[in-house]
């Protein structure tokens, strides 16, 4: 029983991290219908920021979240201006844009691999090897802290989107861009800021991931498949759906990893994707069939 509870809690902690990773992706898709395949490599970029801050200055990766978020956000704005802005003009999804993000992912991957090589890295702050005991349950601090911080950021995001003026404008723009424009929303600006926020979320996820998973540039392919599966699962563009999907699948994945075989834990995500495609193609919370 205790073991089950432990696996569940660990799965949940990881789930919040995955949820953070997928939140930026979902936001960008919701507002601009861009399936950003470069999102995971941006997460890894954030991880590298934290890594180097840790190596050079001994900065705790959790403290480096703002720095990582800002760096990746700026990178994102640059990419947006150079590559995506023209295509984001239409709110309709286009294959071309997905392939553009694909090319972008490869460019950043190649660059990072060239600069830093594909060695596995991980930041190892003091607590990375510690754990706490709640009764008989053993929870590594790395997972716990990353889960809590991820949860916090997601809550802040949700509150921002739900209650702030600009947050409502973002939601309105993703629902009906023309109507938003006709009530005076500067839609181009909203798109740019949403993209920046999405990238900031990626960067912060990267900072947290840096001490939970070992990372290297090519790892983003694995994460593309996982995160994209979550986006489809939750229903394209639904933040609630993506978060819930992340939590559920992460817990299931943890159970599979603990009681069946660790090698199969990531398969859970891909198989879930195919299951959803068979049963309910528009995802758990899908608003429209896409």
Partner 1 sequence: MQNSKKIIPVLILIGLICLPIVQFFGNYNYVIHMVLFCFLYITMSSSWNIIGGYGGFISIGHNVFFGIGAYFSGFIYARYGISPFYTAVFAGLIATVFGFGVGFITLRVKGPSFIISSIALLMILRTLFDRWELVGGAHGITLPHNNLSVEWSKIPHYYALLVLMVLSIVLSWYVRHSKFGLALRSISHDEIKSEVTGINIKIIKVTAYAISAYMIGAAGAIWGDYLTYVRPNIFFIILIAANMVLMCILGGKGTVTGPIIGTIVIIFFNEFILANFGASELNIFFTGLLMILTLLYFPDGIIGSLKKRKLLPGFLDWD
Partner 2 sequence: MTGLLSIRNVTAGYGYGPDIVHDFSLSLNESEVKCIIGPNGAGKSTLLKAVAGILKPRSGDIFFEGENISGKEAYQIMRLGICFLPQERAIFPNLTVEENLRMCAYSIKDKALATARIEAAIGMFPVLGQRLKQIAGTMSGGQQQQLVYARAFTIKPKIILIDEPSLGLAPSLVEQTFNHIKQIAASGIAVMLVEQNAIKGLQTSGYGVVMDLGKLVFEKPANEVLQDQSLRDLYLGKALKK
Cβ distance to partner 2 smaller for residue 7 or 180: 180
In the shown chain, the binding pattern of residues 127 to 166 toward partner 2, with x for contact by CB under 8 A and - for none, equals --------------------------------------x-
Kindly state the tokens that stand for 236. 């394209």
3-state secondary structure of 100: helix
Cβ distance to partner 2 smaller for residue 120 or 178: 178
Interaction of residue 90 with partner 1, rule CB under 8 A: no
- Which CA distances in Å does 201 have to 40, 110, 135, 174, 277? 11, 22, 34, 18, 27
Q: Which residues contact 183 (CB under 8 A, 6 or more apart)?
A: 172
Interaction of residue 273 with partner 1, rule CB under 8 A: yes
Could you tell which of partner 2, partner 1, none binds residue 278, using a CB distance below 5 to 8 A set by kind?
partner 1
Q: Which residues contact 16 (CB under 8 A, 6 or more apart)?
A: 146, 147, 148, 150, 151, 154, 246, 247
| Cross-strand pairs, 133 | 138
Query: Interacting stretch for partner 1, rule CB under 8 A, among 97-105, 120-128, 184-192, 250-258?
Result: 97-105
d(CA 90, CA 277): 27
Q: Where are the beta strands (DSSP E) in 9-134?
A: 131-134
Query: Interacting stretch for partner 1, rule CB under 8 A, among 15-23, 52-60, 126-134, 276-284?
Result: 276-284
Binding partner 1 (rule: CB under 8 A), the pick from 96, 126, 135, 163 is: 96
Binding partner 2 (rule: CB under 8 A), the pick from 183, 263, 278, 279 is: 183
User: Terminus-to-terminus CA distance in the chain, angstroms?
Assistant: 42
Query: Interacting stretch for partner 2, rule CB under 8 A, among 83-91, 120-128, 143-151, 168-176?
Result: 168-176
Cβ distance to partner 2 smaller for residue 174 or 253: 174
- Residue that is written with structure tokens 């990072």 in the block: 112
Interaction of residue 169 with partner 2, rule CB under 8 A: yes
Q: Which residues contact 237 (CB under 8 A, 6 or more apart)?
A: 26, 29, 30, 174, 287
Interaction of residue 262 with partner 1, rule CB under 8 A: no
Residues that bind partner 2 (CB under 8 A): 165, 168-169, 171-172, 175-176, 178-188, 287
């Amino acid at each position: 029983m205790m073991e089950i509870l432990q696996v569940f809690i660990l799965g949940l902690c990881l789930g919040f991290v995955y949820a953070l990773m997928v939140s930026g992706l979902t936001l960008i898709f919701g507002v601009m219908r861009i399936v950003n395949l470069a999102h995971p490599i941006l997460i890894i970029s954030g991880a590298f920021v934290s890594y180097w801050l840790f190596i050079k200055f001994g900065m705790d990766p959790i403290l480096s979240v703002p720095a990582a978020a800002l760096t990746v956000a700026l990178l994102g704005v640059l990419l947006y201006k150079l590559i995506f802005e023209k295509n984001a003009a239409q709110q309709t999804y286009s294959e071309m844009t997905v392939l553009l993000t694909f090319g972008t992912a490869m460019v950043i991957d190649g660059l990072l691999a060239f600069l830093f090589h594909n060695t596995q890295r991980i930041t190892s702050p003091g607590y990375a090897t510690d754990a706490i005991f709640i009764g008989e349950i053993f929870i590594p601090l790395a997972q716990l802290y990353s889960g809590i911080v991820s949860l916090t950021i997601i809550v802040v995001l949700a509150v921002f989107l739900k209650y702030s003026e600009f947050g409502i404008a973002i939601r309105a723009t993703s629902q009906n861009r023309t109507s938003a424009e006709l009530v005076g929303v500067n839609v181009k600006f909203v798109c740019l800021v949403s993209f920046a926020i999405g990238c900031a979320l990626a960067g912060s996820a990267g900072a947290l991931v840096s001490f939970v998973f070992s990372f290297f540039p090519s790892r983003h392919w694995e994460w593309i498949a996982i995160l994209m599966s979550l986006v489809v699962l939750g229903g394209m563009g639904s933040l609630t759906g993506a978060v819930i999907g992340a939590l559920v699948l992460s817990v299931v994945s943890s159970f599979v990893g603990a009681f069946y075989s660790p090698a199969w834990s990531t398969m859970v995500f891909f198989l879930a994707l195919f299951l959803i495609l068979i049963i309910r193609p528009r995802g758990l919370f899908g608003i429209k069939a896409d």
